[in-house]
Amino acid sequence: MTVKEETRELTLRQREGRAINAVAELLRRKLSVPNIYLEPPSSVIKADVLAVDRGGAGDLHAVEIKLERDLNPFEGKQPNRSNSTEYNEIYKKFYAKFSEKLKGIHLQVMSMPAHYRYLAIPTKSLDLAIGELGHFGLFPEDGIGRLGIITVTEKGKEPPTAELVIAPERFRVDPAKLKTIEIRFLATSRPDIEVRI
């Protein structure tokens, strides 16, 4: 029996799921015996991937993934570049909207109760995002910690890849929030990915 191969585009949810797996694989390789949770309950921590180093007894690494839907300048509508006035007007409107979105994303990621915090974005959005993040920084106000940046490269039918482009530095975490995560989630939940030794 011959099966006709259809070329259908992946849904946004499927693309997000593939990006989550790529980021989880990056953390699995980077950390020492990690326990990795995919999309933990938002009541515990608002992150797409949560990894706990050293077999669940170490530091928390939280990653928020934002694909083009969140960062695309023109949201699927490419302006006419030959009309520079129209292009400039559309780009100004986009940039104001993009800047506002990125500020909200930045605030959410910087407030995650994790020792290491990451923002994962499409590779093609890196320059624009880093340019804008420069205005309000990769560092918290108290100066302790640095936001890590991961790029996700989609490769069509091949699995996407994730690459760490800016290494994170350890953040200070509120002990009460950390205890809540440990008691309400880590003590009672089985990781989606764990390294057996």
d(CA 154, CA 123): 9
Between 48 and 197, whose confidence is greater? 48
**The predicted structure's pLDDT at residue 55:** 85
pTM of the model: 0.86
Residues whose CB is less than 8 angstroms from the CB of residue 127 and which lie 6 or more positions away in sequence, other chains included: none
pLDDT band for position 7 (50/70/90)?
A: low
Between 78 and 129, whose confidence is greater? 129
Give the mean pLDDT of 172-194. Answer: 93
Confidence check: pLDDT of 196 > 80 = no
Confidence check: pLDDT of 60 > 90 = yes
Q: Which residues pair with 185 in a beta bridge?
A: none
Q: Range with the lowest mean pLDDT among 60-64, 91-95, 152-156?
A: 91-95
Q: Which residues pair with 12 in a beta bridge?
A: none
How is residue 123 written in tokens? Answer: 């590779």
How is residue 137 written in tokens? Answer: 């920084």
Confidence check: pLDDT of 174 > 80 = yes
**The predicted structure's pLDDT at residue 4:** 53
Percent of the chain with pLDDT over 90: 57
